[in-house]
A = this chain, B = another copy of it.
Amino acid sequence: MSDETPATLYDVAREAGVSLATASRSLNGSSRTVNGQYRDRVLAAAAKLGYTPNLSAQAVARGASSTVALLVSDIADPYFSAIAAGVVKQAAEAGLAVTMAVTDRDTDREIELVRMLRGQRPRVIVLAGSRYTDETARDTLVAELEAFTRTGGHVVLISQHELPFDTVEVDNAGGARALADALSGLGYLAPAILAGPENLVTARDRVTAFAAGLAPVAVVHGAFTRTGGYDAMNSLIDGGLHGVDLVFAVNDVMAIGALSALRDRGIDVPGRVGVAGFDDVSTARDVWPALTTVRVPLEEAGAASVALALGARGGPVSVVPATVVLRGSTPRR
């Protein structure tokens, strides 16, 4: 409740009886070397005063901050929290702090947040979660991001390489197709697809690729969330399951919602229908029956995004694999 003011470098210099410059050189990793005597005195003074460099001031003086900005749809969603974990880890390795913002899946909000984050002058802006197919919002976002890269910033997207920036691409098509093939091989014939939002690119890619391998008898859209899956599943049930022997939800949280709906309606899984998801979120193996899905190395993807931005080179696109994981929710038919 008192109100001292944080110790400044100037305070430290005075306490140590040296100049501002020497203090600065002693405390940060300057290339210049300083007399051991002085250095020790400065360090002692800094410790005594509880000095911590003012990062904002450093950023202003250096013309560049040491932060990574991360934008996610919903940090409570295990998909994004796994990515965030990777981003934070890799950023920490590079001595960078992470400032995080959440869009709530709102395109306008996303643009607004990018503007705000740009103000931090971060080294990198990572956008996780894929874009919606909205022409004008897309253009505004791109313009904003281009303004950022034009001034030396790095932008990395995690999803599809549909925007002109570096991206860590998830092999949605390959994974979805492989899943369809695997399930087809297990004897599944008539899948219903819980397809997510109609205008979400990631969702569409997964639907299309899956359908190419195993033609769906029903496709129902809904939110990309647990509740979305729950509701979509219910409306599917309401419409009559007919011959459906498999439910493919385009992501795990939706699949988990579907599982919940099926349970509530007394429909046996996997006896009556099999269920599959996508992402291999950490809880996929803990639900019952354990969820068949397509594993995406989320944490690696997050780490890769900042590595890609910081790395000397490596090409603008880094693809993370998507591999099928068969579990109890889809036994052989």
Contacts and interface: CB of A to CB of B under 8 A. Distances in A.
Interface of A: 1-6, 50, 52-57, 59-60, 63, 65, 67, 74-76, 78, 81-82, 84-85, 88-89, 92, 97-102, 115-121, 143-144, 147, 149-152, 226, 256, 259-260, 282-283, 285-289, 299
Contacts of A97: 99, 101, 116-117, 120
Contact of A121 (B6, B84, B147, B226): B6
Given A56-B59, A288-B287, A282 B81 contact: no
A260 B286 CA distance: 7
Given A3-B152, A57-B60, A99-B100, A74 B65 contact: no
Given A3-B151, A4-B151, 10 more contacts: A55-B120, A56-B65, A56-B120, A56-B121, A75-B81, A78-B78, A78-B81, A81-B81, A98-B100, A99-B99
Going nearest first, the 10 A-B pairs with the smallest beta carbon separation are: A288-B288, A56-B59, A81-B81, A76-B85, A55-B119, A56-B56, A50-B147, A283-B283, A99-B99, A6-B151
Contact of A76 (B81, B143, B285): B81
Nearest to A91: B101
Nearest to A57: B60
A328 B308 CA distance: 46
Contact of A287 (B1, B120, B226, B287): B287
Nearest to A153: B6
Contacts of A53: 119
Nearest to A109: B92
Given A55-B119, A57-B60, A283-B283, A75 B65 contact: no
A66 B226 CA distance: 33
Nearest to A68: B99
Contacts of A81: 75-76, 78, 81, 84
Contacts of A119: 52-55
